[in-house]
């Protein structure tokens, strides 16, 4: 199975603009348990927090889901996210939601273009210039003359 743009759209993973994750599923079924191991490898594309251009995020991780098969499912049985409880007679394994959660949790909290070898940001230069301008403006505001006056007062007393 491959999780690509179509999957991200279907899963409403709206942060992900594109990508291609190979998904290998190893499933071991015993009488009372189904052990599902998912191995993801590939990359996703998501907008940069700084300049909004897509960032290529390599991904390689494994996740595991245990499905417990029981004669009857009791209310509250499915409170644990890592263990699903299902009726042993009627269970149908739909791992779509699980796969979606895995990818969502594997996303880095901060998505930003990496710096190049010289320590320079590889973000969109136009956006960087704009950000620089904005921070220069706020730096100016730090030097509010009224504050300077107050500072001098303090020194005088």
List interacting residues with Zn ion (CB under 5 A): 48, 50-51, 113, 123
Rounded to the nearest whole angstrom, what is the least distance from the CB of residue 51 to Zn ion in the complex? 3
Distances (CA, A) of 24 to 61, 77, 126: 11, 28, 40
Backbone angles phi, psi at 37, to 5 degrees: -110, 125
Nearer to Zn ion among residue 93 and residue 111 (C-beta): 111
CB 82 within 8 A of CB 101: no
Rounded to the nearest whole angstrom, what is the least distance from the CB of residue 137 to Zn ion in the complex? 21
- The count of C-alpha atoms lying within 13 angstroms of the C-alpha of 10, restricted to the half-sphere facing its C-beta, is 9
Rounded to the nearest whole angstrom, what is the least distance from the CB of residue 2 to Zn ion in the complex? 27
Nearer to Zn ion among residue 3 and residue 48 (C-beta): 48
The whole-angstrom distance between residue 24's C-alpha and the CA centroid of its chain comes to 20
Nearer to Zn ion among residue 41 and residue 122 (C-beta): 122
Nearer to Zn ion among residue 24 and residue 132 (C-beta): 132
Residue 16, classed as helix, strand or coil, is coil
Rounded to the nearest whole angstrom, what is the least distance from the CB of residue 54 to Zn ion in the complex? 9
């Amino acid at each position: 199975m491959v999780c690509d743009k179509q999957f991200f759209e279907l899963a409403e993973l709206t942060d992900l603009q594109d990508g291609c994750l190979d998904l290998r599923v190893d499933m071991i079924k015993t009488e009372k348990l189904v052990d599902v191991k998912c191995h993801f490898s590939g990359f996703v594309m998501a907008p940069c927090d700084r300049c909004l251009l897509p960032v290529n995020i390599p991904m390689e991780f494994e996740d595991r889901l245990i499905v417990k098969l029981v004669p009857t499912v009791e209310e509250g049985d499915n409170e644990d996210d890592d263990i699903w409880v299902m009726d042993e007679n009627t269970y149908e394994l739909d791992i779509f939601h699980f796969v979606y959660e895995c990818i969502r949790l594997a996303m880095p909290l901060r998505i930003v273009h990496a710096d190049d070898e010289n320590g320079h940001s590889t973000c969109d230069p136009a956006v960087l210039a704009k950000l620089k301008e904005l921070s220069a403006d706020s730096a100016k505001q730090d030097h509010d003359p009224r504050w300077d006056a107050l500072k001098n007062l303090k020194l005088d007393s």
